[in-house]
Chain A
Amino acid sequence: MPFGVSMSDDTNPANDFLLADVPDPTDFPPAVEAPGLRSIDGSFRCTICGELFDGPVTLPCGHCFCSGCIRPAMSLKQECPSCRKGANEGHLRPNPIVEEIINGWKEARPYILSLMKQEVQRKMADQPEVHASPAKKRKRSQERSSSELGSVPGLPHTPIKPRPSGKMSRSPSKPKPVKYLSDGGAGPSRIPTSDVDEDDLESTLGLNPKSDDLVKCPLCEKRVRYKNLNGHMDRSCKDHEAVSSSSQWSKIMAPKGSAKGKQKKKSSEMDEFPLPKASYATLKDKQLKEMLQEHDLPITGDRPQWEQRHQRWVMMYNANLDRSLANRKTKAELRRDIKKWEEDMSKKKKPVVEDLVKYQQTHKPEFDRLLKLAKRNKDKSVLEPNTAPLSSDNNHKPASTDASLVGPPSSMTAVDDVIDLNSDEE
């Protein structure tokens, strides 16, 4: 993101944050130069976090947000943040189409940006006016750009750029040309998985499954043996088949390659139902602990921390379910995320002063300085009582205060000013 903030002090550490490269729509040139690109990138972003949609959900009013953004917003106010129409978490509906678009855009975005960069370099190279040092640079960039251009559709074996993220490769429906390019580096042994999907598997099993065949449970979409299906559904899909399913999958997937099996195991690990919110006030400590342990969450800290942790977990867990299967995180990943979140939270918390006397002693110079400052300000306000609320802006035009207007110290006017200030504060 090429922008600098006019700063009096270049060594300001906050500059790092401003110069940090955070992708946003302004990476693309304005509409006059590249029509549509900036607005496309802008509309693919959640208006709460400003990132490309992650687990997009739609509200009844049609507005779309990341699931992980809208859920905390709704816990504060039950309305659409954009149009303020009433809505609650129960109204959230995952939007798989938007998610697929985003998956595609995540790959297309760096590709388009690199093409645009090449275009700019090409235009620069066409210009006859040449300086000594840039010429060298341009020559090199030209060479590179020509090799990169060569790798654009048609020559899939030259990887154009590193795959943006490992997660994306699992996307079931990515645009073909881009996929080809990004998969190019992985070697020929890699089979494009997107074409073989669950539906295809279903058809190979046939319409009349045998008792040992695996079929998809219509309720939880897990795969269970046909002969066990009725029992499975009677137990509300809650049988302990995680172990058996993984062995089943390794069996069924053996001829097709291991990558697929891994993916299936992951999805079967996740339950499909969102967690209910808990009313913590009615829960005993023991119950709350059990609820945390149920999800393998730590029970360190005190009760408010447990409640926060569980609340956050429910939010993250449910938001994760709004992602498509391919983009979904595993429970272990979620646990890692919540751990990081807790660490960030504890960093932000102000340090609690345990020993007040000791704290006072160690920070004595600072306190003294503040006291002196406060006293001086107080003296000043007594000296210039009448100018206090209306023209206390002393550094604007220091010499301009009319001497005749400044009255002698008077406790009466000082008190009046205090009252004025109070009435201003509403």
Chain B
Amino acid sequence: MDARLRRVNKEIADCKNDKTSNIRIELIDESPFHLKGSFPGPDGTPYEGGHFEVDIVIPESYPFQPVKMKFITKVYHPNISSASGAICLDILKDAWSPVLTLKSTLISLQSLLCSPEPNDPQDAEVAKHYSTSKSSFEDTAIYWTQIYAGGPGPKEKKGKGLSRSDVRDEVAIAGLEKAHVDQFEALGFQRSKVIDVLRRLNYRGANVAQITDDRVVEELLK
């Protein structure tokens, strides 16, 4: 058994035996170098209560080269691509160290969810949303956690509750206000297109006052 295999074997055993970290690693297919990690969303964040799965590929020269990780579960986070799940985290790139393990790397991902870094974004649109209006961003992140990661959804006590219907609310997924979408839809544009344009323009929070209706219509007519 080569050294890489031995190490991966030990790492999985280590995760199995650690009941406190709540981090799990499973096999995906017949390769021991393609795994699936999962962890609960950290408490006190919009990701609380969610269950996040990560695709793990262990390269040939592991542990001297970093593991390749990306989210399987869709996450609304400035440093995680909302489309592909690609992760922007230094230890997965040039700050990797051979003493890091699958478990410690998954814990780092968990803590990345606690502390978004919008100045070094992976998903520019999400990062813009985060910087413009943190509360609106959090509402969207909670909604994503609810529909994709099995989270509990928005807390009723916050008052500004999002609809908890089974039908996915495209407006909430895009992190927009229903009133804004309705306003432009009333002008005769397709709802889906309105959502798309408003999302791209980052039509949220304080930005709403800065973006004129003409600008939005201009984009809609393009």
Interface residues of A, Cβ cutoff 8 Å to B: 1, 3, 5-7, 12-15, 17-18, 20, 22, 24, 26, 30, 47-51, 69, 72-73, 76-77, 81-82, 84, 344, 348, 385-393, 396-397, 400-402, 404-407, 412-413, 416, 420-421, 423-426
21 pairs, CB–CB < 8 Å, chain A vs chain B = A3-B12, A3-B13, A12-B30, A17-B8, A24-B13, A30-B17, A48-B63, A50-B6, A51-B3, A82-B97, A344-B2, A392-B83, A393-B148, A400-B166, A404-B191, A405-B170, A413-B193, A416-B196, A423-B125, A424-B83, A424-B122
Interface residues of B, Cβ cutoff 8 Å to A: 1-3, 5-14, 16-17, 26-27, 29-32, 60, 63-64, 74, 81-84, 86, 88, 97-99, 121-125, 147-148, 166-168, 170, 173-174, 190-193, 195-196, 199-200, 222
Q: Which 7 A-B pairs have the closest CB atoms?
A: A386-B192, A47-B99, A389-B83, A424-B81, A81-B97, A81-B99, A24-B10
B120 to chain A, nearest CB (A): 10
Bound Cα distance A393, B11 (Å): 31
A69-B98, A406-B192 are known contacts. Are A17 and B9 too (CB-CB below 8 A)?
yes
Are B193 and A14 in touch, CB under 8 angstroms?
no
A88 to chain B, nearest CB (A): 16
Are A386 and B195 in touch, CB under 8 angstroms?
yes
Bound Cα distance A50, B10 (Å): 7
Are B5 and A17 in touch, CB under 8 angstroms?
yes
Bound Cα distance A388, B14 (Å): 38
Whose C-beta in chain B lies nearest to the C-beta of A72?
A: B64
A208 to chain B, nearest CB (A): 51
Are A14 and B27 in touch, CB under 8 angstroms?
yes
Q: Which residue from A18, A404, A407, A423 sits with its C-beta under 8 Å from B193? A: A407
Are A420 and B83 in touch, CB under 8 angstroms?
yes
Bound Cα distance A407, B199 (Å): 17
Write out the residue numbers on chain A whose beta carbons fall within 8 Å of the beta carbon of B6: 22, 49-51
Are A423 and B192 in touch, CB under 8 angstroms?
no
Write out the residue numbers on chain B whose beta carbons fall within 8 Å of the beta carbon of A7: 26-27
Q: Which residue from A18, A77, A426 sits with its C-beta under 8 Å from B27? A: A18
Q: Which residue from B1, B81, B166, B168 sits with its C-beta under 8 Å from A391? A: B168
Write out the residue numbers on chain B whose beta carbons fall within 8 Å of the beta carbon of A426: 81, 86, 88, 121-122
Bound Cα distance A82, B99 (Å): 6
Are A17 and B14 in touch, CB under 8 angstroms?
no
Write out the residue numbers on chain A whose beta carbons fall within 8 Å of the beta carbon of B148: 393, 396
Bound Cα distance A17, B8 (Å): 10
Are A3 and B173 in touch, CB under 8 angstroms?
no
Write out the residue numbers on chain A whose beta carbons fall within 8 Å of the beta carbon of B196: 386, 413, 416
Whose C-beta in chain A lies nearest to the C-beta of B85?
A: A424
B6 to chain A, nearest CB (A): 5
Write out the residue numbers on chain B whose beta carbons fall within 8 Å of the beta carbon of A416: 196, 200
Whose C-beta in chain B lies nearest to the C-beta of A422?
A: B83
Are A22 and B168 in touch, CB under 8 angstroms?
no
Write out the residue numbers on chain B whose beta carbons fall within 8 Å of the beta carbon of A50: 6-7, 10-11
Are B191 and A405 in touch, CB under 8 angstroms?
yes
Q: Which residue from A20, A84, A396 sits with its C-beta under 8 Å from B9? A: A20
Q: Which residue from B27, B86, B170 sits with its C-beta under 8 Å from A425? A: B86
Bound Cα distance A160, B6 (Å): 28
Are B30 and A13 in touch, CB under 8 angstroms?
yes
Write out the residue numbers on chain A whose beta carbons fall within 8 Å of the beta carbon of B97: 77, 81-82, 84
Write out the residue numbers on chain A whose beta carbons fall within 8 Å of the beta carbon of B147: 396-397
Given contacts A22-B1, A391-B173, A401-B168, 8 further A-B contacts (CB under 8 A): A6-B26, A47-B99, A50-B11, A73-B98, A388-B83, A400-B168, A405-B170, A424-B81
Bound Cα distance A84, B97 (Å): 8
A46 to chain B, nearest CB (A): 9
Are A402 and B193 in touch, CB under 8 angstroms?
no
Bound Cα distance A392, B74 (Å): 10
Are A3 and B17 in touch, CB under 8 angstroms?
yes
Whose C-beta in chain B lies nearest to the C-beta of A407?
A: B192
Are A14 and B31 in touch, CB under 8 angstroms?
yes
Bound Cα distance A390, B200 (Å): 12
Bound Cα distance A17, B3 (Å): 12
Whose C-beta in chain A lies nearest to the C-beta of B96?
A: A77
Bound Cα distance A5, B190 (Å): 49
Write out the residue numbers on chain B whose beta carbons fall within 8 Å of the beta carbon of A17: 1, 5, 8-9, 32
B70 to chain A, nearest CB (A): 12
Bound Cα distance A69, B7 (Å): 12
A65 to chain B, nearest CB (A): 9
A84-B97, A386-B193, A425-B84 are known contacts. Are A18 and B32 too (CB-CB below 8 A)?
yes
Write out the residue numbers on chain B whose beta carbons fall within 8 Å of the beta carbon of A421: 83-84
Write out the residue numbers on chain B whose beta carbons fall within 8 Å of the beta carbon of A391: 168, 170, 173
Bound Cα distance A77, B64 (Å): 10
Bound Cα distance A401, B166 (Å): 10
A12-B30, A396-B147, A424-B123 are known contacts. Are A48 and B168 too (CB-CB below 8 A)?
no
Are B173 and A424 in touch, CB under 8 angstroms?
no
Whose C-beta in chain B lies nearest to the C-beta of A400?
A: B168
Whose C-beta in chain B lies nearest to the C-beta of A13?
A: B30
Whose C-beta in chain B lies nearest to the C-beta of A419?
A: B200
Bound Cα distance A1, B17 (Å): 11
Are B26 and A390 in touch, CB under 8 angstroms?
no
Bound Cα distance A73, B65 (Å): 9
Whose C-beta in chain A lies nearest to the C-beta of B6?
A: A22
Bound Cα distance A396, B166 (Å): 12
Write out the residue numbers on chain B whose beta carbons fall within 8 Å of the beta carbon of A49: 3, 6-7, 63
Which of the listed residues A26, A47, A424 has the most CB atoms from chain B within 10 Å of its own CB? A424
